Amino acid sequence: MEILDCRGLNCPEPVLRTKEYLENHPEEVFSVVVDNEASRENVLRFGRSQGCQVSVEQRGDGDFLISLTPGESDTPREDFQEADYSCALPDAGNLVYVIPSDSMGRGSSELGWALLQTYVKTIAEISPLPSHILLYNGGVKLATQEGKALEALQALEKQGVTIWICGTCLEFFKLEEERKVGSITNMYDIMNTMTTAARVVSPF
């Protein structure tokens, strides 16, 4: 499988190289490596706009490996406009979702858990996608228990959303070995992400 190395390139160059390869190899699965979030978001968005199935993996060196499978998406192709893929992140405005509980609202905890499952599943249907989802306190249970929320979080992670889970909280609930999505983080990173976000959204 071909891998386009677009590290160190300014936007919209990674998208232009992705476009060129896709035009010359319209049926081939290929990957693109980028080293920043703006390029990651732009390549993902371009791939979707061209009817590709896309997924992304953050590697240990901080780079992003984006896989594109042409023709696997039902999304109609859009006309390409180079200006749409500038270095600015596309309207996400560094949007961060914060989920600090395993129950949405007060009253019935059972109902609250069901509502939260639907809430997390709906994140993928709202534009723009967040840059991060932060789980702490009871919210970490969403990353460990089977259900709509876990499936949604796994899908969002593949689309490039960073999911951070409070390590202290996992230890408190004795769930360290049950984590099925996301990366363990600490309070410094949680606070830093929230204070530098353009918008913070929470269902609580």
Surface-to-core class of residue 42, CB atoms within 10 Å of its CB (0-12 exposed, 13-18 middle, 19+ buried): buried
133, pLDDT greater than 90: yes
108 within 8 A of 65, measured Cβ to Cβ:
no
pLDDT tens, residue by residue, 28-87: 999 999 998 888 988 998 998 898 999 999 888 889 999 999 986 655 566 777 666 666
Residue 122 is predicted with a pLDDT of: 94
Strands 64-69 and 53-58: what pairing?
Answer: antiparallel
Sign (positive/negative) of CA torsion 94, 95, 101, 106? positive
CATH number for the segment(s) 95-201: 3.40.1260.10
Cβ neighbours of residue 78 closer than 8 Å, sequence gap 6 or more: 49, 50
Rounded to two decimals, the pTM is 0.57
Secondary structure class of 64 (helix, strand, coil) = strand
Domain ranges of the chain: 2-78, 95-201
Q: Which amino acid is at 164?
A: W
d(CA 118, CA 136): 18
Secondary structure class of 129 (helix, strand, coil) = coil
pLDDT tens, residue by residue, 158-193: 988 999 999 999 999 999 999 999 999 999 999 989
pLDDT tens, residue by residue, 87-99: 654 444 589 999 9
With residue 110 as reference, give the H or E element that holds it: helix 109-123
137 within 8 A of 100, measured Cβ to Cβ:
yes
Domain 2-78: state its class. Answer: alpha beta
Residue 101 is predicted with a pLDDT of: 97
